[in-house]
Amino acid sequence: METLGIGLFLLIIMLLFLSGGIWIAMTLAICGWVGQAFFVNTEPGKNLFSAFWETNASWELAALPLFIWMGEILFRTKLSEEMFEGLRPWLNRVPGRLMHTTVLGCGIFGSVSGSSAATCATIAKVALPELKKRGYDEKLALGALATSGTLGILIPPSITMVVYAVAADASIIRIFLAGFIPSAILMALFMGYIALWSIRNPSKVPAADPPSSFLEKVRKSGNLIPCMLLIIFIVWVLVAGYATATECAAYGVFGSLAIAAYSRSLTWKNFWEGLMGTTRTSCMIMIILAGAAFLTKTMAFTGVPRELAEWVNAMQLSPYALIACLVVVYLILGTALDGISMIVLTAAVVLPMIQKAGFDLIWFGIFIVLLVEIAEVTPPVGFNLFVLQNMTGKDSNTIALAAIPFFICLVICIVIVTVFPEVVTVLPDYVMGKAK
């Protein structure tokens, strides 16, 4: 248990630094340095350099600034405003109205980005200013965006799913197919809470527009055409095999620039402002990722994740008690590690336990992705909290509090897939069965 004491000590240091206002990336890096300098026989300087280089030299990470740039283009031209105008008549009578665009936008964008950070940053850049301008509750919007952004790793294609499939030696296609129904359930839970909140707080929701005819709704839906064409284009080049998920981001930027130029809303001024905004946001996310990677190296050296997993294994629990215990373990790890690191560092110990207990590895892949989603909005290292904090200036704890109801929706989704595992396995079993 001495190893777990080291992990607890580093967590306390992290909380103290964050509460003292130290930069997030610096806090993560300092905690990693302390762990390696005092508790591990290694050279923290070399590991710091390698962690920062390996993280930011990743080809997959190239998609992040490109998707963020696409969001900047949509935000700084008329395209985002037109999208909201097109959705307004259809959502006018739905409780919560345009607030649902936070969930719908993240769901649609998550299907092409494969990244929680990119989804959260892009949709927040487009949706927050429009919702604020129309008088929607900012706290609800922040909570919805923080959690809905995690759909980027649950809706295929997902980088996290690929990492799990490799670690578990499972079919990537089956893992991808397994994510569709749980993601639809999760979106329904998020939108259901928004509707319930709006019914209970009518004074905080802008008044409904006058009723419009079906033909009027169809006419205003023409505003959706540019953004829908862009999304269809990105999905098409991905599904048709013309581009990888990373290359899709470049196509997205090209498509958004082309549409903005065609609509004559692209100027040299907003082009340059979008480029600078992308640079600032991307650098912020990438340096936090690098700090988190260095802390992950420290955790790997100290053996905290493996110690936790082995401790659970030694308890010889029943299948559902094992699942409950793993939920607690991954929630603890989520306070200090990013999702991919959580999977990589625990797979060797946890996966044999899961197989021995009789659980399907495809089902467990979705289960663990949902736990990673929770980690993305769990302080002190909830990555989506950091993204929104740096984009809005709001404290990460404020955003975390706003996300609590949606956090509960995530927990409910985990309960659903645990009690009814068929919602995960039915689609891959059906599709792969048809393919045989």
Task: Specify the pLDDT at position 1.
Answer: 46
CA-closest candidate to residue 391, choices 290, 257, 278, 289: 278
- Tens digits of per-residue pLDDT, 236-272? 776 677 777 677 778 888 888 888 888 788 888 888 9
Containing domain of residue 398, as a range? Answer: 1-436
Q: How many separate domains does the chain show?
A: 1
Radius of gyration from C-alpha coordinates of the chain: 22
Q: What is the number of other CB atoms lying within 10 angstroms of the CB of residue 415? A: 10
Model-level pTM? 0.73
d(CA 231, CA 107): 12
Helix then strand then coil, in percent of the chain rounded to 5, is 80, 0, 20
* More confident: 332 or 279: 279
- Tens digits of per-residue pLDDT, 22-39? 776 788 788 888 888 888
- Tens digits of per-residue pLDDT, 109-162? 776 666 677 778 778 877 888 788 888 888 999 999 989 888 878 887 676 787
Region 214-235: mean pLDDT is: 76
